[in-house]
Amino acid sequence: MTLSEEPRATCALGGALSLISSIHRAVPIIHAGPGCGFTLTFGQNIANGYQYIGYASGFAAPSTNTLERHVVFGGENRLREQIRTTLELMDADLFFVVSGCTAGLIGDDVRSIVGEFAGSEKPVIFSETSGFKGNTYRGYDLALRSLADQVTIPAEKKTRGLVNLLGVVPSQDAFWQGDINEIVRLLNRIGVDVNLSGNGDSIEKVRGAAEAELNILLSQHTGQLAAELFREKYQVPYIKQTLPIGRETSAFLRAVAEALGLDKERVESVIAEEEAELWKYLIQFSEAYVFLLINKEFDVISDSNYAIGLTKFLTNDLGLFPKLIAVTDSPEEGLRPEIEGKIRELNYGISPLVIFEEDSYRIWEEIARDPPQLVFGSSIDRAPAKKEKALLFPVSYPLFDQTVLSKGYSGYRGAVRLVEDLGTALLTSI
């Protein structure tokens, strides 16, 4: 058994619920014990910058609330009853059954029960997301694959320049809405239309997702199950591009343009305009930089997306010095060398220590060997950072000491916002 002190993700069921909450007029039906939905609601709506999201989330989420008798005799009848009453009482475009640990342990046939409602006016789908199947990232991936498999329909032809964005986990990434909005803005500028963005998608967009010419996986591993299904079932290829911050966004846009065969002259013109604006603001920050940031060393405690994006931006664009990068989203062993390689794509031959760890005690045991001046981590890192006389800048889950609504740190504009927030944090710490 592996135990973690202050884990930095929820369970697989939590990841599935985070995806459902991001879909317009989608209702989850939780087949699990009474504490699961309640606890995960607080985990998502408080620990992600106090964002309350979802058409029918929180206390409005239907649940079978399975008890001891269901463990003994099975919970299939209870699930059937809950689906029937939910269809009668709730107005929605999609009903999404997700199962927790109890259903997985006793072997309830969720697929069969959901199949009984195949003729319903509104689609009823399912994903088996027992918490023990993995963390938030895994649950998101399992649910996204189920969504694509059970709702998306084959397309007669592809729509030129249409893409789907996959891999940003709502709630787990507190800045998901702002991050996605910046990526959509930039893709639109180079002539790309976004179907599935991951932020408020309608059921019509899910149905039509196979019309996309390309899927863009904004992660090195999260969402890959769904991306593989899209490729095999609907002939939609995908590229992996970690969420970019700062100048790294230019490489992201060029990779998308190459995959889609876009007009290079237009793409380079957009990149030149966006980089000019980025550097205009960074130059304006130069005096504050000398006062606040010059020669600062930093550590990052985050999932692989922000671990890669932040480290590259802070090192290559701002000229700071990375010491330790702790990747917390538990990617599969076979993917770790690729992720570590992405983190190490740094200027001047700089090569930080990279560890894959979610246990707070072990992470801070390593940091304490040689503490930096700055730590980019989560709210739970504030106390140990103070002990090591380091300034904490919260960017990762759980995030419960600030409110986040539309803010994001991706792209060019997100990088400027990051510098503003970091400068403010440094000034107020003096």
pLDDT, tens digit, for every residue of 4-37? Answer: 667 899 999 999 999 999 999 999 999 998 888 8
Tokens of 384: 């140990």
pLDDT, residue 164, reads 98
Which of the four pLDDT bands, split at 50, 70 and 90, describes residue 1? very low
pLDDT, residue 303, reads 96
| Share above pLDDT 70 across residues of the chain, in percent, rounded to a whole number | 97
Average of per-residue pLDDT across 291-299: 93
The continuous run of DSSP H or E covering 146 comes out as helix 136-150
Which of the four pLDDT bands, split at 50, 70 and 90, describes residue 172? very high
The CA-atom distances, in angstroms, between 119 and each of 116, 123, 129, 153, 306 are 8, 8, 24, 17, 43
Average of per-residue pLDDT across 52-64: 84
Is residue 346 exposed (0-12), middle (13-18) or buried (19+ Cβ within 10 Å)?
Answer: middle
Average of per-residue pLDDT across 332-342: 95
Residue 165 — left, alpha, or beta (φ > 0 → left; ψ -120 to 50 → alpha)? beta
pLDDT, tens digit, for every residue of 236-290? Answer: 999 999 999 999 999 999 999 999 999 999 999 999 999 999 999 999 999 999 9
Rounded-to-integer distance, Cα 211 and Cα 234, Å: 9
Average of per-residue pLDDT across 393-410: 94
Tokens of 273: 């305009």
Burial 11-39 (b: 16+ CB within 10 A, else e): bbbbbbbbbbbbbbebbbbbbbbeebbbe
pLDDT, tens digit, for every residue of 185-221? Answer: 999 999 999 999 999 999 999 999 999 999 999 999 9
Which of these ranges, 153-162, 229-238, 287-296, has the smallest mean pLDDT?
A: 287-296
Query: Which residues face 72 on adjacent strands?
Result: none
* 376 and 326 Cβ atoms separated by less than 8 Å: no
Mean pLDDT of the chain: 94
Which of the four pLDDT bands, split at 50, 70 and 90, describes residue 342? very high
pLDDT, tens digit, for every residue of 70-128? Answer: 565 568 999 999 999 999 999 999 999 999 988 887 888 999 999 999 989 999 999 99
pTM of structure = 0.94
Is residue 412 exposed (0-12), middle (13-18) or buried (19+ Cβ within 10 Å)?
Answer: buried
Tokens of 185: 């803005």
pLDDT, residue 68, reads 67
pLDDT, tens digit, for every residue of 351-373? Answer: 999 999 999 999 999 999 999 99
Tokens of 392: 């904490």
Rounded-to-integer distance, Cα 43 and Cα 48, Å: 8
Domains of the chain, with CATH numbers? 12-137 (3.40.50.1980), 162-266 (3.40.50.1980), 285-399 (3.40.50.1980)
* 372 and 297 Cβ atoms separated by less than 8 Å: yes
The continuous run of DSSP H or E covering 40 comes out as helix 34-45
Q: Report the side by side order of strands in the sheet with 374-378.
A: 353-356, 321-327, 297-302, 374-378, 391-396
| Share above pLDDT 90 across residues of the chain, in percent, rounded to a whole number | 85
pLDDT, residue 122, reads 93
* 251 and 274 Cβ atoms separated by less than 8 Å: no
The continuous run of DSSP H or E covering 343 comes out as helix 336-343
